[in-house]
Amino acid sequence: MAEPNRRSAAVPNDLEAFWVPFTPNRAFKRAPRLIASAKDMHYYTPEGRAVLDGTAGLWCTNAGHNRAPIVEAIKRQAEELDYAPAFQFAHPKSFELASRIAALAPADLDRVFFCNSGSEAVDTALKIALAYHNVRGQASRTRLIGRERGYHGVGFGGISVGGIVANRKHFGTLLAGVDHLPATYNREHQAFTKGEPDWGAHLADDLERLVALHDASTIAAVIVEPMAGSTGVLPPPKGYLERLRAICDRHGILLIFDEVITGFGRLGYAFAAERYGVTPDMITFAKGITSGAVPMGGVIAREGIYDAFMRGPEHVAELFHGYTYSAHPLACAAGLATLDLYRDEKLFDRAKTLEPQWADAAMSLKSVPGVLDIRTVGLTAGIDLASRPDAFGKRAYEAMERSFHDEGVMIRITGETLALTPPLIVSEAQIGEIFDKVARVIKAVM
Ligand SMILES: Cc1ncc(COP(=O)(O)O)c(C=O)c1O
C-alpha cells in the first residue's frame, strides 16, 4: 500500500513543531505565554488581555510598539523595493541610514557596516579587528579579550568572548586564543547602587595582567558591554571604562563597545559611549535601531579603521565579509523612521529625565523580603532574588510566569535576576505600575 501523503494531511496548529529559543520548551508548551498584538506600551494576548511591556520586548522596542510612522515606512518600502543585492549593489536608504547613525555616534566613528542581528554585529566587529591588524602588517594580533558575565550573542565569536558558562559549555572548544577580564560586579561593595558603582574601576587593570601574560603584540581587541545587560544589569564602575580605554591605547589594542542593548537611548544617550565620555574604536548595535520592528544590526567603526582597508586594487573588495540581508531595504526604512521618532519625541532625553524617578521606584523594592540587590542605570533595573535552596533560577522563572499570567506585566529573567527595561515612552504612572506589580509578584514567590 502506498504511504499516505503526510504533506497533504491537515497540519494541526499545535505547539510542537516550533523549537522555542532560549526557553524551557516543555514548561512553555504546558503553559504558553502567547502574544498576538501590541500597541505602544502594551502587548495583547490572543484573548485580548493587555500586558504592560516592562522589557521593551527583548530590550529592543525603545520607541514603543507598532508606532504608526515605523509601520507606514515599512509598508511603503515593501511596495517600493523588496530587495536589492547587498554585495556590489546598494540602495539609497542604506547610505542615508549609515550617515544618520554616524552622525549620532561619537567622535570619528563614522563608518557603518550593516548586518541583521547583535550576534552578527559582534562577529563582524571581531573579524574587522583581526583583519585591521592584518592589513596593517600586525598579523600576530589575533587574541580577543572578552569579560566574564559578558553577553555578545550566540555566534561562535560571541560565545567565545562572552562569559556565560551555560552559553559556552555545550559548544566545544569555541574560538582559540580568547581570554577574559573579570566581571565588574561585587555585591559586597556595590549592593543597592543607583547608577555606576564607586567600587571597581581597578578591575580594568586586569587587562595589564593579560597583556603581561600574552604580550600586546598578540592581542587584537577587547570587547565589553558598557553596561552588561543580559547577566542582570551590571553598570560599569565609575572610571572603569576610561581605564580600559587608556590601557588599550597604551598597547595598540582596539576597544569594542557592544552597544546592542545600550545603543539608542537605553542609558539616556544615543550610545553609552557618550554617557561615559569614552570613545571606543568600534560600536556594535542592533535592536533599538529599528525599535525591534525589522531585524537589523551593525558595526560603527572609526574612520581610520575603514581607511586602513582602502588600499590594494580598486576592483577587489577590501573586506571579505557581509550578509545577503545587510542593509535590507525594509530594515533601512524602519531604521530611518525610528531615528526620526527618537529625534522628534526626544526619547533619549526622556530616558535621561526619567532616570531618577525610575531608580527611586526600583529601589522602593529594597525592603521586599528575598530581594538581595537592586541595580539601576538609565531606564534599566536588575533585581536579584534569593534562590530556592534546591533550584537556582526557579524563583525568577515563577516570577516571570506570574507577572505575565496574573499581573499583566512582562519582565525578563536571567538566572535569579529580574530585569526591567521598558520602552522609552513609558509614562511616570506606568513606572509606578511596573514596580507595584513586580513587588506583588516577588512577595508571591517568596
Ligand atoms: C550586548 C549584546 N550583544 C549581542 C546580543 C545579540 O543580539 P541578537 O540576539 O540580535 O543576536 C545581545 C542580545 O541581547 C546583547 O545584549
Per residue in 230-277, pLDDT tens? 999 999 999 999 999 999 999 999 999 999 999 999 999 999 999 999
**Mutate which of 256, 257, 260, 413 for ligand 1 pocket (most atoms within 8 A of beta carbon):** 260
pLDDT at 148 over 80: yes
pLDDT tens per residue across span 316-365: 999 999 999 999 999 999 999 999 999 999 999 999 999 999 999 999 99
| C-alpha pair distances (Å), 177 with each of 135, 158, 180, 313, 395 | 20, 13, 10, 32, 37
Distance 142 CA to ligand 1 centre (A): 23
C-alpha span between 419 and 179 (Å, rounded): 27
Kindly state if the Cβ of 55 falls inside 6 Å of ligand 1: no
Task: Please compute the mean of the pLDDT values over residues 6-33 and round it to a whole number.
Answer: 84
**Mutate which of 59, 119, 149, 225 for ligand 1 pocket (most atoms within 8 A of beta carbon):** 119
Distance 394 CA to ligand 1 centre (A): 24
Do 224 and 163 touch, CB atoms closer than 8 A? no
| Structure confidence at residue 13 as a pLDDT band (50, 70, 90) | confident
pLDDT at 136 over 80: yes
**Mutate which of 151, 225, 259, 284 for ligand 1 pocket (most atoms within 8 A of beta carbon):** 151
Distance 223 CA to ligand 1 centre (A): 13
Task: Please compute the mean of the pLDDT values over residues 38-55 and round it to a whole number.
Answer: 97
pLDDT at 424 over 90: yes
Any bridge partners for residue 353, and if so which?
none
| Structure confidence at residue 399 as a pLDDT band (50, 70, 90) | very high
Q: Of 107, 234, 130, which Cα lies nearest the Cα of 182? A: 234
C-alpha span between 103 and 97 (Å, rounded): 10
Do 224 and 408 touch, CB atoms closer than 8 A? no
> pLDDT value at position 2?
47
- The DSSP bridge pattern shows strands 143-147 and 178-181 to be parallel
Share of the chain above pLDDT 90, in %: 96
Task: Please compute the mean of the pLDDT values over residues 280-296 and round it to a whole number.
Answer: 99
> pLDDT value at position 12?
58
> pLDDT value at position 383?
98
Kindly state if the Cβ of 110 falls inside 6 Å of ligand 1: no
Kindly state if the Cβ of 115 falls inside 6 Å of ligand 1: no
Instruction: Quickly tell me which residue has 543580559 as its cell.
Output: 230
Any bridge partners for residue 40, and if so which?
65
Q: Of 148, 172, 142, which Cα lies nearest the Cα of 161? A: 148
Beta strands in 213-272 (DSSP E): 219-224, 254-258
| Structure confidence at residue 6 as a pLDDT band (50, 70, 90) | very low
Kindly state if the Cβ of 123 falls inside 6 Å of ligand 1: no
**Within a 10 A sphere around the Cβ of 311, how many other Cβ atoms?**
9
pLDDT tens per residue across span 185-206: 999 999 999 999 999 999 999 9
Kindly state if the Cβ of 261 falls inside 6 Å of ligand 1: yes
Kindly state if the Cβ of 60 falls inside 6 Å of ligand 1: no
Kindly state if the Cβ of 119 falls inside 6 Å of ligand 1: yes
Kindly state if the Cβ of 262 falls inside 6 Å of ligand 1: no
Kindly state if the Cβ of 412 falls inside 6 Å of ligand 1: no
Task: Please compute the mean of the pLDDT values over residues 28-56 and round it to a whole number.
Answer: 96
Mean pLDDT rounded to a whole number for the chain: 96
Q: In what order do the strands lie in the sheet with 254-258?
A: 109-115, 297-302, 282-285, 254-258, 219-224, 143-147, 178-181
- Nearest atom of ligand 1 to the alpha carbon of 284: 3
C-alpha span between 69 and 358 (Å, rounded): 27
Task: Please compute the mean of the pLDDT values over residues 405-428 and round it to a whole number.
Answer: 98
Share of the chain above pLDDT 70, in %: 97
C-alpha span between 297 and 287 (Å, rounded): 7
| C-alpha pair distances (Å), 126 with each of 2, 113, 176, 206, 222 | 54, 13, 13, 21, 9
pLDDT at 4 over 50: no
> pLDDT value at position 222?
99
Kindly state if the Cβ of 225 falls inside 6 Å of ligand 1: yes
